[in-house]
């Protein structure tokens, strides 16, 4: 079964088919043996592309709901050979994926869904965290960054409810030595330029 396609996306992406995975079952065979890390909701892709440049010994998969953003990111990949993309809703894609695929997961500035009644849409809702467990290798690092205190507190609570222990918890990521290797995302630069503190934590799957 294939993930539903965004209208006309394949036409626009025709020059970039080599960077696109359409069938979740093909993820493993599209990469070589290097450890594979995942970013969900990569937006314009700056973070993932910078990670792929910085860590050539790893592979990277980005999944993004917006076809336009996916196209933008693909245009910026250049000669990199360790990065591929999927477009679609992570909630629809995950059930179609094999188990134990990823050695790391990045959730950067996920939509906060501030209305309490929308908590199930947050990418750190416990049921989604449980679905990440299936696709992550044991003890992989999951990393979250956000400017939203509500999402931060909610996510910490959901991770603890999953029985996992958050670490490197920070309420000022840009001034925290534990995060000195940080690569800033598009949203991160936007929010921190406006004076907002960046919050974050990690946990092991
Ligand atoms: C606020 S933006 C952050 C973008 C980027 N991570 C950054 O920090 O600049 C959130 C992104 O997540 C994507 N997104 C939200 N829900 C998603 C889902 N269920 N599956 C895939 N992508 C999703 C949105 O399309 C959007 O591009």
User: Which of 87, 35, 92, 85 lies closest to 62 in space, CA to CA?
Assistant: 85
Handedness of CA 39, 44, 50, 53 (dihedral sign): positive
3 lies in a domain? no
Q: Which of 3, 38, 43 is the pocket-test mutation for ligand 1 (most atoms within 8 Å of CB)?
A: 43
Give strand pairing partners of 143: 106, 202
Task: Indicate whether 168 belongs to any domain.
Answer: yes
Kindly report the pTM of this predicted structure: 0.95
How far apart CA 75 and CA 8 sit, in angstroms, is: 17
Computed over every residue of the chain, the mean pLDDT equals 94
The tally of domains found in the chain comes to 1
CA of 111 to the centre of ligand 1 (A): 6
CA 76 to chain CA mean position, Å: 17
Q: Whose CA is nearest to atom 11 of ligand 1?
A: 41
87: in domain: yes
* Residue 36 domain flag: yes
Note whether 136 and 105 are within 8 A (CB). yes
Average pLDDT over residues 56-83: 95
Q: What percent of the chain has pLDDT over 90?
A: 90
Residue 10 has pLDDT above 90, yes or no: no
Catalytic status, residue 168: no
**CATH code of residue 169:** 3.40.50.150
Domain-located, residue 4: no
Across the range 103-112, mean pLDDT stands at 98
Distance (angstroms) between ligand 1 centre and the Cα of 11 equals 23
- Of ligand 1's atoms, which has the minimum distance to the CA of residue 108? 6
Indicate whether 4 pLDDT > 80. no
Q: How confident is the model at residue 12 (pLDDT cuts 50, 70, 90)?
A: confident
Q: Which residues span the domain enclosing 78?
A: 9-204
């Amino acid at each position: 079964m294939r993930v539903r396609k965004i209208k006309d996306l394949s036409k626009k992406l025709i020059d970039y088919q080599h960077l696109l995975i359409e069938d979740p079952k093909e993820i493993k065979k599209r990469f070589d043996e290097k450890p594979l890390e995942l970013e969900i909701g990569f937006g314009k892709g700056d973070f993932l592309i910078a990670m792929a440049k910085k860590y050539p010994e790893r592979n990277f998969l980005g999944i993004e709901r917006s076809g336009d953003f996916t196209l933008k990111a693909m245009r910026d990949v250049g000669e990199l050979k360790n990065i591929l993309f999927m477009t679609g809703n992570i909630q629809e894609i995950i059930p179609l994926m094999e188990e134990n695929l990823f050695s790391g997961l990045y959730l950067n500035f996920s939509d906060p869904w501030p209305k309490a009644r929308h908590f199930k849409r947050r990418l750190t809702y416990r049921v989604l965290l449980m679905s990440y467990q299936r696709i992550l290798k044991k003890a992989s690092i999951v990393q979250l960054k956000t400017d939203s205190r509500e999402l931060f507190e909610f996510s910490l609570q959901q991770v603890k409810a999953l029985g996992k222990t958050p670490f490197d918890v920070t309420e000022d990521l840009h001034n925290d030595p534990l995060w000195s290797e940080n690569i800033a995302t598009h949203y991160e630069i936007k929010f921190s330029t406006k004076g907002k503190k960046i919050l974050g934590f990690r946990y092991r799957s």
